[in-house]
Chain A
Amino acid sequence: GQQLNQSPQSMFIQEGEDVSMNCTSSSIFNTWLWYKQDPGEGPVLLIALYKAGELTSNGRLTAQFGITRKDSFLNISASIPSDVGIYFCAGPTTDSWGKFQFGAGTQVVVTP
């Protein structure tokens, strides 16, 4: 079956630093989604990618759909304390519409 690997598992950074994380899949995806989960809340969609090579920004967040269609990257520039949380990548399974597989998550901790 499909495997989705997300790294790193966690990151401890200082405020103002940039953050990078990535996901790789064992199979080709036609969609990549990036979610953020704040402590005690459900995941919220940050960025959606639909085409290989696509580069999309949302404020200080930038995500890219890899050319091979088997990977995706998320970058956060100039981190601030509210960037703390768990970031998940997700991609569609081959089963049916709407069913997604989630990465294990990258926990980001920002220190002043």
Chain B
Amino acid sequence: DAGVIQSPRHEVTEMGQEVTLRCKPISGHDYLFWYRQTMMRGLELLIYFNNNVPIDDSGMPEDRFSAKMPNASFSTLKIQPSEPRDSAVYFCASTLYGGGYNEQFFGPGTRLTVL
């Protein structure tokens, strides 16, 4: 079975550029989470969706960040304009309500470097 798929795996961009990260959750999962991981702040929840609807975006750092989930099999996290402090590893995770263990399945992450 395919796990959570994220693309790209690595992204290097210059300050001010728009960055779009993509995620395909596990088929059938109804929750999708976007996390950011840095050395200083650890693993932070940015936003999560239930049945494609954003439920809590309180972790989104500022208006430069936006996330969408147009359908059950695709989500994007966009940063516009990007800044060096956005450099981090961004993870997408998905889970199924009532699927047991509340386990969130993580993708491999996108390592973003903003120069």
Contact = CB atoms under 8 A, between A and B. Distances in A.
Interface in A26-69: 31, 33, 40-45, 48
Nearest to B92: A42
B93 interface: yes
B interface residue count range (under 10 / 10 to 19 / 20 to 34 / 35 or more): 20 to 34
A48 B109 contact: no
| Max chain B C-beta neighbours (<10 A), residue from A96, A98, A99, A105 | A98
A53 B42 CA distance: 28
Contacts of A105: 42-43
Given A45-B103, A48-B101, A92-B102, A99 B45 contact: yes
Contacts of A100: 45, 102, 104
A87 interface: no
A48 B102 contact: yes
B97 to A, nearest CB: 7
Contact of B103 (A42, A48, A88, A103): A48
Given A92-B102, A98-B48, A100-B104, A42 B42 contact: no
Contact of B56 (A44, A45, A99): A99
Contact of A42 (B97, B101, B107): B107
Interface of B: 4, 31, 33, 42-43, 45, 48, 50, 55-56, 91, 93, 95, 97, 101-109
